[in-house]
Structure 1
């Protein structure tokens, strides 16, 4: 699987987040809390949902399934005006990303094993310390094997 390399500008995001680990995954609860309130967010730039992970700087160098990180359910907005109650803003820094088009169930984590175990080590890039995210567009169908999404991994040159 090949990645395309994208250099993006910063993005303004609004949504909610939870602290979790891979071993104590609360992703379903996060999205169950977010989706009924999504329409409260005005000035959305697209219909896409964004699932974002903000990892501490040592998350991957000292990886354990119990390492905590913040997972966000967000949408991109033009500005932070009219922030709904109990939602938060996040400014995603711009920069270089490796983008993987993925088709398959969100429950199959082999794509991440490939990205971190094969693609990054064999590429001309290193993992950068910025949030990772997935764009869940109109072809996203959660656990469906025909679901499609884009996986955005922050990178920098070696």
Structure 2
């Protein structure tokens, strides 16, 4: 599998969040996206044009995977500072650290299968250990969940 390691400084996010689990994450993601995307241009000081689909777990241990495990699901963007946050939007600060970054191209169904294989098979047999920081996908301007094929970057925190 092709990947790269990225060392980040503090990451600042502005967006919307809700409690989700692995069974309802697609539904919650859709709800958040429908609320956030019409307002994305209200967010100032954006670092780039990527949108983030983010999961903030209280702890993530794939060997104890439970589809009912709740986590905070976020849809947002990365910003340079938190000085101007639109009304009814939230902020999240991610501590500095290393991320394993894997590119994915395919359907949403293929993404689910790829994500499962990555977490259940590849990562446990790799040299990497998952860190307790948010996981996210970076979605480009051309990302559209209604398209047959999309490109995205999967960012997994490692230590």
1:123 Cα offset (Å) = 1.1
Question: Are the aligned partners of 1:107 and 1:143 in contact in 2 as well (CA < 8 Å)?
Answer: no
Equivalent in the alignment of 2:144: 141
1:12-37 Cα distance to aligned partner (Å, 9 max, x none): 11011010111122111111111111
Report the RMSD for the aligned CA atoms in angstroms: 1.5
Cα distance in 2 between the residues matched to 1:55 and 1:134:
14
For 1:64 and 1:30, the matched residues in 2 are separated by 23
Structure 2 residues not aligned, in runs of 5+: none
TM-score, normalised to structure 1, is 0.91
Q: 1 or 2, which has the higher helix percentage?
A: 2
Match of 1:87 among 89, 92, 106: 89
The alignment partner of 1:7 has SS state of strand
Q: Does 1:16 align with 2:16?
A: yes
Name structure 1 gaps, 5 residues minimum: none
Runs of 4+ in 1 over 6 A off after TM superposition: none
Partners of 2:10 and 2:95 within 8 A in 1: yes
TM score, norm. by length of structure 2? 0.91
Residue in structure 2 matched with residue 42 of structure 1 by the alignment: 44
